[in-house]
Structures are given as structure tokens and as C-alpha cells.
Structure 1
Amino acid sequence: MHDRTPDWIAAAAGARLLRAVDPTREGSAAAGPRRAVIDSRVVLPGDLFVGLPGTQVDGGRFAAQTLAAGAWGALVHPDHADAAQEAAAGVVLAADDPLLALQQLATAWRRQLAAVVIGITGSTGKTSTKDLVAAMLRAGGRDRLIATSQNFNTEIGLPLTVLGAPPGTDTLVLEKGMRGPGQIAQLTRISEPDVAIITNVGPVHLELLGSVAAVAAAKAELLTSLRPGGTAVIPADEPLLEQYLRDDLQIVRFGPGGDIEDLPGVRLLSEGIELTSAHMRRNALAAAAAVRAAGIEPRGDIEVALSARRGQRERLAGGVIVVDDCYNANPMSMRAALDDLAATAPARRVAVLGDMLELGPDEKRFHSEIGVHARDRGVDVLVVVGERAAYLGAGSNLGNVHAVPDAATAARLVPTLVQDGDTVLIKASRGIGLEVVAEALRAARPGEDVA
């Protein structure tokens, strides 16, 4: 946005421009900001600070502080505008709803960029599919792209991602998270995607949504809000999405029986190691369909930079392989991870599995069924972490099961159980914090090789 004027920023955000700094004056702000930020602690010169009201603290209180630190400007609620103008320099904008203003500004900048926008949602595999799309685009020469980083897939994170795209960006790859009905539709309105991917539909957020059919309806908001002529990429084996398809969309189905069933001649690599798991190959089909809609044909070896804690493999001392997949978990992703463990472990299979959250009244059954799946996939040592995961351990009917109450206890126990040559899967919902188990294994068995 650095080529946009304060007047343009104000109009795009639906805000009132209270102070515009002359960009020709020495020491004043440039014509436009380079990005938008909401955390006053990370503001750098040239940033637009947006003060969002929070449950504990209203970010608008820090506007003057950010302007003093060199921010290009501050966008705040009118209650904080006078204090912001006490700073010696910087643009000051006021909006009754700073979050809405942030979102409107993102939409205006998305239109200004005229980039191809690929939106991605689904019950599992959103982040891996986003990583695959970005990798395929870059391999095809489309390197002026911006993709969602970390967990910036919300009504706040998505507009920040868009506003961080520099002029000349030709592709935006945007993951869209969901906590309830209407949220995917909101993110779709903000980003106006050209291509939409739904990776799958499964039992997630049931505590809030109540049924898998309701999950499908929430995910399908990406389709119902997609512009006419857009491309919808959906699983070939998901009938729950069919009712939400429209005649004015290009429909591409992926997977067995779909329009794209295989990727001959394409190898997916991460840190030089081929990605061969069934769920990663399936995600790659969805990614390839979207990339083709954007004008790129995936070919040859494609290096994928996987996001943290999404199944990375690390080789530790003694040939121990740690599969760090503890960013999130639900019944679908748990099954896929156990399938991958069974297919790739050369020796003992150790699974450290924690609670799967937000599964509603059937959570006991879901956990018990994963225990059965762990047994059927030949898990040798099972460590279950949390009250819900205890049902998983009981359902497994395995002899070598260790139930612990929390991640800290698991971090102390697991290194004592692991033997040379073991493959260790670590997976749970994010709130369980199982990354401490991976860290404990690294400390106990220092190693540097990625497997």
C-alpha cells in the first residue's frame, strides 16, 4: 500500500482522515503504509497501526506510542483519536468499528492488486494444501505470491495477510479458518477469491455446529460466496457439498472418480525427502486443480515448505524419527496420521496422542474409535494425554498403553519409553500443547538430520 495516499486509505477503510501528513515534508510519513499491524509491540517505521478493541485491553490506547515509534499512521476508534493526535507525526484515522475498517481496507487493496486469489478451507489439511499450492505456484515461476502464515486465517489475520502484500503481488493463497456459521462467508467477502478449495468435510467443531452436515454447510460458504465464473475445487467423494454447487461456477472434483485422480511425473519433497503419505498426495490433487485454474501446470520435483508442526519428520540420535504433528487434531486427521505411521515406520511405532477438542457429546466414541484404529495400524506403544484421550487408550485394547493427565507429564515420560529406531508420532488438538513432548525428545536425543 506504500503507493496509496492517506486520502485513499481513509476512503478505502471507510474511516475519517483526521490528520494527513504531507509526504513531501522531511521526516513525515511516506505516501502510504507498507503493511497493517495490530500489535503495538511489533510496529516498525512505515506501518499502519490498527487499534482493535479487545476483551482485556483496547489497542487504540497505544496509538500515540506507535506513532512516536515511527508508524506511518494509526487507525483507531474516535475515543482514542485525540490522544493519537498528540504524537508529533503520523497519519491519524478514526472509525467507529476499526475491525470493519481493517477488513474493508483489505478488500480495497485486494482489488487494487488485481491478483489471483485462491481461498482454502476444509476440516483437515487446510494448511498443508496451502503450502502445496504455494510450492506448485513457485515451481511454475509464479513467485510474486503471498500465502497465509502461521494461523493468520481469521477475520483479523486474513486482512492483515492481504494488506501485507506488496504492489506487484500476482497471487494470494489464503487459508480460511472457521469457528462457527458465517465466518467463512465473511472471509470470502473480504478476499473475493477466484478459486476455492474445500479439502474435505468431517467431524470437527461439533461442539458448536452439532452435525457433520452443519460442518459441510459452514465450509460451503466458500462456494456460495464465490464470484460467478470462479473455480470450485471439491472432493469427488463428498456428497454433502453437492447441494451448494452453482451453475455459474467451474467445478473440479479431485480424488478417486474425480476430474483429477493422479499427478504423474510430480514428486513432492520436503527438505529433500519425498512426501508419500496418502493424505498428502490427496491434498496435492486439490492443490494441483487450483494451480491449474491459476494458469500453472505442476511438473517434476516440487519442494514444499511445510508449516510448523504439520507432520514434519526429524531424525534424532539412535535413528529415532519424530513426526511432529501436534498443531491440531480431529478424527479424520488422527486416522490419516496413524495410517502414515503404519506405512512408514521401519521398526516400532510409538504414538503420543492427546485430546481431540470440540467434538461435542460423541467425543467419547470418537476417541475410542481412534484407539481401535491405532491398534489396527500396529501401534506398539501408545501414550494418551488428557481426560478425553483416556477413552482412546481404553478403546485400543493394547497392552502397552500409558495414560497421563497432561503434556508436561508426557514430556517426562516419553523419552524414557522411546528406543533406538522408533518412529514417534505426536498429535493432539492445539490446546493440549504436545509440542513439549517433541522438545523433550530433542533434548534427550540431540540430532540434526531431517528424515
Structure 2
Amino acid sequence: MLTIGEIVEVLSGKLIADHGEDDVVVESVEFDTRKVVSGSLFVPLKGVRDGHEFVPQAIENGAVATLWEAGNANIQPEGIAIIEVADVLQSLQDLAYYFVQKIEPRVVGVTGSNGKTTTKDMLDSVLSQSFKTYKTQGNYNNDIGLPYTILHMPIDTELLVLEMGMNHKDEIRPLSLIAEPELAAITIIGESHIEYLGSRQGIAEAKMEIVVGLAADGELIIPGNEPLLEPLVEDLAQQVVRFGQQGNEDISATIVESSKHSVTFTVSVFPGETFMIPIVGDYNVNNALIAIQAGRYFELSVDQIKIGLANLNLTQSRAEWVKAWNGAEILNDAYNANPTAMSLVLETFSQIDVNEDGKRIAILADMGELGEQSQEMHESMLEAIDFDAIHHIVLYGEWMGYLADKIVTADTLVPLDYFNKEERSELVARLEEIIAPNDLVLFKGSNSMQLSEIIKEISEK
């Protein structure tokens, strides 16, 4: 992978405790001692605890070298090559930048308020039909996760698919500069992190930071129905491709058929061809359009693109169907949530056929990081609920209490249950009472609400 001497040179570091030759090869880079193995470089990041405290554990697990931040007060241990650097996190990022330059994969970057991970999975599934690919694992998409992903790609990687996430302004900018993508995509501008960015306009500007490192002759793919992005791409030197389902975009889709487990559709740029994605939701066709356009950009055949989409494997908790203890079908979309995402999945869920003696149950939990607009945005979900299609509503969390109040005063006879976050056991007990074997059950909420744990609990009884 990289030698100790190479790392020292790249980071302009100082080898202050040399227990190995410069040509000793580092086999992996880890910041979690539980993942350190023989031949690892340990990266002692500062979090709740100072990572330098865990260097002895890294040595026990087989690390051959560690970074060490200049001036750190911990005692430097024996038995390991210590590379002194000015800033450990910056060094991790600098090492990732160097590794991209060394391996020279073609790079695709994807960001957006919703659908980043699903789109990343689609991109990887399609592009792997022609390239040796590597993608962001899980949600390792921030200032630590992205360089970590890069440093874990196999040396024979031909194409790297990187998810780029953020909570604040100026967080995607350095990620784009590290990765230097030649193709970048923005899935959608929603409300995620509006607490920190103030408005959807602020979110759009933050997402556009992905072009900072975009190759001069590269391409940016954006949603065609997002007016906030148009002034931001007006003077962009790179090619801009717009996608959507209105029919007037550069690449557009028309839905042919939707079911509980798949969507089939046609695409404007491939007349006569039908595509299929094995995932619920017409909104996911927009994510597929990004992957299709990427396939076109990298000159894949239409058959390769179709095969890649048809064989999609999604990251867990993204529109995933699982069985309840009694056979009821659960749509687990519980990884994250914001008003746009919740509205889209509610619309899809309301249209899924249910057995004659079954019912649709929507379990909605708090949406995080909405700041001062949190009450208003939770209340606004009233408009997203089709009371003719949803037969029982269960709300969970402090902010969902505001939606519960709105539903109580609405003209509806749909049963409603509300639980605050401290009433988790009561929520589970109530779900066991109301869920019948032929029901369809939707779980949607922010990851902080731990709905996946509740799903696991009612799936294993």
C-alpha cells in the first residue's frame, strides 16, 4: 500500500521513533483500534477521548506505525514507528489525497439532501459492469469517512464512487478537493441540516461545493426541477446535465409500472428500452437517472446499465422490506428523514396495494436538525398524509407531538397513537397490538430515533 518512508515524506512529518525501516509497508490505515491489524498505521484522532491514549492498544493489535500530533501531552510509547505531524486529521486527509493521485482511479462524487447512499449504491452497481469499482462503505462520507474510504480502496481500483455529506457550510469543499471527481451529482435539495444552514438556499449553496474540485472538463448532474441550483450553475465551466420526470430535462424518465418491490420505467435518451430498479418508490427513479447518466458518461452500453440497475444491492435501512414477527411486511426507511424525504415515501407507501383484510400503518418519528423551523416542518407533514390510504398513524418523538396535535384537530377518523421518546417500550407494545399479519407498515424517521432497533425487536419475536 504505502511505506513508512513514503508516508513521512508525503506528510512532511518527522520520524521521531523509528522501529522499522523506511520501506516497511503499511497494509491499512485505521483510527479505531478495534480494526487495527498487523501492519496497520494508526491515526489517533481526537474525539470524546484523545486517540493518542489508545496507541498502546494499537501496538498490541499489530500496528507498525502511528501518527502523533506535535505537542500532544501523552507519553510516546515504545515499540512502534512514530510519525510526528502538525495535525492528525489534516494528515489523514493529505494522505488520502496522495493515495488518489497514486492509484489514479476515475472518481465520481455524489451529494444531496436525500438519496445519497441509494444513488451511490446505484452508481457502483452500474459502473462495476465495466470497471473495478470501490464505493463509500456505509455512511463514511464526512471529513474523516471520505479519506478513510479512499485509503481503503484496493490498489487495482479503476473507479471510485464517493458519497459526500455535510452538516455545515464549507464541509463538502475539502472533500471535493481531496477526491477531485471528474463526475459529480446532486440528488436533491431538501431540508436536512437547515438548522445549521438557515434555508434551502443555504443548503443548495453548500451542496454546490462539490464542484470546487470537479475536473475542468468534468460533468455535473443536477435535478432539473430545482430552481435554487440554476443561478449557481449559470457560469459553471463544466458540462451540466439535468435529470427528472417532467419530460423537459436532458435525461428524463417515464414510469411504466410501480410495485411493492420494483419500478419499471423508460428513459428519454434510450428510446425503446425499459429499465427496472428492484426498490420501491417512483422517487428512486430520479436516483437511477443519475446512475444511467453516469453510465453514458463512462461509455457503458445500455445493456450494462440495465443489468447494473436490475442487480442493485442497497445499503441497509434504505427502503428495505423486512418481515414482522407475525408476517406483516415492514418498509424500513428509517436511516434518516427530512420533510421532503418523508413526503415522498408517504406518497409511495399510500399507493402500494394492500391485502383486502390488511391495512397500511405509518410509524413516523422525529426529523432532526431542522432548527427553528422544526415545529412548523413537523406540522407540515399533515399535508403529506393521505387519510384515505393510511389506516393507522403512530407518531413517536417530541417534535411529532406537534403533528399529533394537528391530526387531532383535522377532519379524519384514522386512528392515531402518539408516544414521546421515553415511551419506547409502550410504543413496541402498542405495535404488537395493532399490527396484523396482512398489514403493510412504514417506519420513517431520523437515525437518532433508533427506529431500526424497534424494527429489529418486532421482527425477532
TM-score by length of 2: 0.88
Q: Aligned residue for 1:249?
A: 238
Deviates more, 1:246-255 or 1:416-425: 246-255
Q: How does 1:3-152 map to 2 (within 5 A)?
A: 4-22=2-20, 31-54=24-47, 56-79=48-71, 83-87=75-79, 90-138=80-128, 140-142=129-131, 144-152=132-140
Change (3 A) 1:413 1:249: same
For residues 15 and 121 of structure 2, what CA distance do their matches in structure 1 show? 38
Query: How much does 1:443 deviate?
Result: 2.5
Q: Which letter maps to 1:248?
A: A
For residues 365 and 57 of structure 2, what CA distance do their matches in structure 1 show? 42
SS at match of 1:119: strand
Q: 1:299 aligns with which of 302, 306, 314?
A: 306
For residues 82 and 365 of structure 1, what CA distance do their matches in structure 2 show? 48
Query: How much does 1:247 deviate?
Result: 4.1
SS at match of 1:240: coil
2:112–2:207: 8 Å Cα contact kept in structure 1? Answer: yes
Q: Which letter maps to 1:420?
A: P
1:351–1:379: 8 Å Cα contact kept in structure 2? Answer: yes
1:81–1:92: 8 Å Cα contact kept in structure 2? Answer: no
For residues 82 and 419 of structure 1, what CA distance do their matches in structure 2 show? 58
Q: Aligned residue for 2:260?
A: none
Q: Aligned residue for 2:351?
A: 343
Unpaired segments ≥5 residues, structure 1: 24-28, 270-274, 445-451
Q: Aligned residue for 2:221?
A: 233
Q: Aligned residue for 1:402?
A: 417
Query: How much does 1:158 deviate?
Result: 0.7
Q: Which letter maps to 2:242?
A: R
Q: Aligned residue for 1:26?
A: none
Query: How much does 1:344 deviate?
Result: 1.6
Unpaired segments ≥5 residues, structure 2: 254-266, 268-272
Q: Aligned residue for 1:265?
A: 274
Q: Aligned residue for 1:284?
A: 288
For residues 291 and 135 of structure 1, what CA distance do their matches in structure 2 show? 10
Q: Which letter maps to 2:448?
A: G
Query: How much does 1:296 deviate?
Result: 2.6
Q: Aligned residue for 2:156?
A: 168
1:384-435 per-residue CA deviation (whole Å, 9 max, x = no partner) reads 0012112222334343000001244322221211112111001111111112
Q: 1:201 aligns with which of 189, 199, 213?
A: 189
SS at match of 1:299: helix
For residues 437 and 374 of structure 2, what CA distance do their matches in structure 1 show? 34
1:271-315 per-residue CA deviation (whole Å, 9 max, x = no partner) reads xxxx24111111100122123323334124621111111110023
Q: Which letter maps to 1:221?
A: E
Query: How much does 1:220 deviate?
Result: 0.8
Aligned length: 427
SS at match of 1:261: strand
Deviates more, 1:351-360 or 1:316-325: 316-325
SS at match of 1:173: strand
Change (3 A) 1:95 1:409: farther
Query: How much does 1:120 deviate?
Result: 0.8
Q: Which letter maps to 1:299?
A: K
1:6–1:17: 8 Å Cα contact kept in structure 2? Answer: no
For residues 105 and 377 of structure 1, what CA distance do their matches in structure 2 show? 55
Q: Aligned residue for 2:438?
A: 421
Q: Aligned residue for 1:272?
A: none
Deviates more, 1:200-209 or 1:240-249: 240-249
Q: Does residue 185 of structure 1 match 2:173?
A: yes
CA RMSD of superposed structures (Å): 2.0
Q: Percent identity?
A: 30
Q: How does 1:364-383 map to 2 (within 5 A)?
A: 364-376=375-387, 378-383=389-394
Q: Which letter maps to 2:379?
A: S
Q: Which letter maps to 2:135?
A: A
For residues 53 and 359 of structure 1, what CA distance do their matches in structure 2 show? 27
Change (3 A) 1:67 1:294: farther
1:148–1:161: 8 Å Cα contact kept in structure 2? Answer: yes
1:4-36 per-residue CA deviation (whole Å, 9 max, x = no partner) reads 32221122233222345556xxxxx97322221
Q: Which letter maps to 1:135?
A: S
1:326–1:430: 8 Å Cα contact kept in structure 2? Answer: yes
2:179–2:213: 8 Å Cα contact kept in structure 1? Answer: no
SS at match of 1:411: helix
SS at match of 2:433: helix
For residues 405 and 12 of structure 1, what CA distance do their matches in structure 2 show? 51
Query: How much does 1:227 deviate?
Result: 2.5
Q: Aligned residue for 2:259?
A: none
2:324–2:460: 8 Å Cα contact kept in structure 1? Answer: no
Q: Which letter maps to 1:6?
A: I
SS at match of 1:290: helix
For residues 328 and 68 of structure 2, what CA distance do their matches in structure 1 show? 52
1:44-70 per-residue CA deviation (whole Å, 9 max, x = no partner) reads 11211101122x321012223312321
Change (3 A) 1:377 1:362: farther
Change (3 A) 1:68 1:417: same
Change (3 A) 1:14 1:258: farther
Change (3 A) 1:82 1:339: closer
Q: Which letter maps to 1:369?
A: S
Query: How much does 1:226 deviate?
Result: 1.9
Query: How much does 1:318 deviate?
Result: 4.8
2:41–2:65: 8 Å Cα contact kept in structure 1? Answer: yes
Change (3 A) 1:186 1:408: farther
